A = this chain, B = another copy of it.
């Protein structure tokens, strides 16, 4: 159950994460941020009685100088007795992540910025631009100005990648054809204001990101209750992936659970497609290793990345990184035990997944 030394020491690139809260959390807020539910219900009991809840008590408590398996109340009392910046620094530093690719597009007011996060964590941060949020911020302009403004922003951005939340807005069944400008302008004209849910505009944004040479992340699968899970099967993206393969710009499928096998298939057959287990890693707690092994069944090892998808709670950075190391170590130890590959191969696979694939994809 120990982590192989060369895996424990790996520096990580977290290619998809978010900021952490600026403030302490009450127990209800903390519990609701552990999982993807909107909140805790008396009908269902405490979220500390879940895989990730037990992982907090087991792994995070000792970093706050509590015994392993401290109770939820002890944990939160201790946590709130410390300064939140100190708590965040502790968990970020312990994660071993040296590079953060931060999607700052969700609830930016509550969270530390990418630069602040990197400062606390002793690493480097790069931004990932959330396409729908960018579009919503530019909606005021006329349709043709809107197209120009989006293009200009993507061309000049300092972000190292873009992210689409098509999964949350329209599902992943994007068409396999680039929308014509005239159609996009018409669609923008019919989008009155507020939340962008127009499939033509959302598809067009994805194409524009690739045109700008930005590696494009898609939320896939497991997420909060806004999702209709069956519309988030990554294989629904097949026509889009087929149409964009020749552009040579990477597309990254995030999380994917419970469609991680489908994601591995797509990453195998399309040259520009990559995947990770993201959010699911910490969500699975002590069962992360089995699902991680499933995710690596048919994907070439040059196509799989680490991400934490940590949001709001710094514990999730630490748990994401720790459970990733544990799962990667279990995967490699099992392969070595079965004589599937040799030590040198195991080291190379570890480096690929921990950071080298990300460095190549994002040209870090």
* Chain A residues at the B interface, C-beta cutoff of 8 Å: 1, 35-41, 43-47, 49-51, 53-55, 57-58, 68-69, 222, 224-225, 227-230, 233, 235-236, 238-239, 242, 248, 250, 257-258, 261-262, 265-272, 274, 280, 283-287, 290-291, 293-294, 296-303, 334-335, 337-342, 345, 348-349, 352, 357, 360-361
Sorted nearest first, the 9 A-B pairs with minimum C-beta distance are A45-B302, A41-B271, A286-B340, A258-B261, A229-B235, A225-B269, A50-B300, A230-B235, A49-B301
Q: Is the CB of B302 within 8 A of A272?
A: no
Cross-chain contact A54 with B236 (CB below 8 angstroms):
no
- Which B residues are CB-close (under 8 A) to A250? 43
Q: Are B43 and A271 neighbours in the complex by a CB distance under 8 Å?
A: yes
CA distance A266 to B45 in the complex (A): 15
Cα–Cα distance between A289 and B274 once the two chains are bound (Å): 25
Which of B35, B68, B345 has a CB less than 8 Å from the CB of A268? B35
- B residues within 8 A CB of A301? 45, 49-50
Task: Pick the contact of A69: B54, B229, B262, B342 (CB < 8 A).
Answer: B342
Q: Which residues of B contact A258 (CB under 8 A)?
A: 261-262, 265
Q: Given that A250-B43, A298-B283 are contacting pairs, would A38 and B269 also be in contact in the complex, using a CB cutoff of 8 Å?
A: yes
Could you list 30 A-B pairs, sorted by A, with CB under 8 Å? A35-B300, A37-B269, A37-B270, A38-B269, A38-B271, A39-B271, A41-B272, A44-B267, A45-B303, A46-B300, A49-B349, A50-B298, A51-B297, A54-B335, A58-B341, A69-B345, A224-B269, A225-B269, A227-B238, A229-B262, A230-B233, A230-B262, A257-B261, A258-B261, A283-B297, A286-B334, A286-B338, A286-B340, A287-B296, A290-B294
Tell whether, in the assembled complex, residue B224 and residue A37 are in contact, meaning their CB atoms are under 8 Å apart: no
Chain B residues near A242: list those with CB within 8 A: 225
> Would you call B271 and A44 a contact (CB within 8 A)?
yes
Question: Which chain B positions have C-beta within 8 A of A39?
Answer: 271
Distance between Cα atoms of A173 and B256 in the complex (Å):
22
Q: Across the interface, which residues of B come within 8 angstroms of A342, CB to CB?
A: 69
A298 B51 Cβ-Cβ under 8 A: yes
Q: Which residue of B lies closest to A241 (CB)?
A: B225
A230: chain B residues at CB < 8 Å are 233, 235-236, 238, 262
Q: Which of B58, B300, B345 contacts A44, CB < 8 Å?
A: B300
Residues on the B chain within 8 Å of A270, using CB: 37, 225
Q: Report B-chain residues with C-beta under 8 Å of the C-beta of A47.
A: 300
Contact A54 B271 (CB under 8 A): no
Alpha-carbon separation in the docked complex, A227 to B233 (Å): 14
- Tell me, rounded to whole Å, the shortest Cβ–Cβ distance linking A251 to chain B: 11
A360–B43 touching, CB < 8 Å: yes
A40 partner residues in chain B, CB cutoff 8 A? 271
CB-defined contacts of A360 to chain B, threshold 8 Å: 43
